[in-house]
Amino acid sequence: MARDQFLRTTLRKTRPQAQRNAKPAIAQNPPNPAAFPPQDTNDPDIFFTAGVNGCMVVVEGTREEPVGYHCNAISIAGSPMEAALTAGDAGLAQNRIAAKVNSMSTRMDQMSTADPKGAKGAVQTAALRKGTIQTDYMILGGGGEVGAGEEDQWSTIRSNIVRTIGIQRQSDKRVRLQNSVGTIFGHRSNGLWTFYLQKLVCYQIWRDVGKVFKNWQLDQGNLWYVADCREFWPNGAGHAI
């Protein structure tokens, strides 16, 4: 995402479902039309972003033809990560996030009002505008350090990772936070779109190789864990933007 830029896209209904059903199924080995239904590369049923680490993603409009916004405000208010890690100030970090969200919301609302993207289909299912912000999809921390105010959240996630990968009884191993990002994706089913967020953490496993004294060394890195995955539009925990 470009610095301080906004992107907007409308997921149009480009072809009636009857026409899509008439297309051949995607070739598979072996072919399985039931598992791999007819698709059209101009009319996808999946939408997703690259990893986000501070951007705001908002969806508005109708479930048949939603409009998605990907908003960036890196130059506004300073870095929440710096506030949480370097300054150790959880309140300052959240204030900076709030200032960015306010700025992005204002700009996005101006764009939506000045140049609205109305639905074109005959049958439409309206839904309220909702968005997801940095506090929803990532932890402020990295490089083995956890930002102020994020300790309890990371403790829970780390415990879940330890149980999942089965090292809870191995006292010579530790899990450390490498970084955190989010992803946003949408899925269309029966002509209706639903959008979800994922909270992702990249972690490392460190091992104590000391014979007498502790000597922690990196054992594995760039390991990923999905800490959360939930709907935010049209239902779920999205913020009213």
Q: pLDDT tens digit string along 72-87?
A: 999 999 999 999 999 9
Residue type, 72: N
pTM as predicted: 0.86
pLDDT of residue 117: 84
Which residue reads 């530790």 in tokens?
174
> CA 51 from chain center: how many Å?
7
Between these two residues, 239 and 29, which has the higher pLDDT value? 239
pLDDT digits (tens, 9 = 90+) for 98-138: 999 999 999 999 999 998 888 887 778 999 999 999 999 99
State yes or no: pLDDT of 66 exceeds 90: yes
Using alpha carbons only, what angle is made at residue 56 by residues 52 and 59, rounded to the nearest 5 degrees? 115
pLDDT at 29: 46
Is the confidence at residue 1, as pLDDT, over 70? no
Q: What is the mean pLDDT of residues 205-227?
A: 93
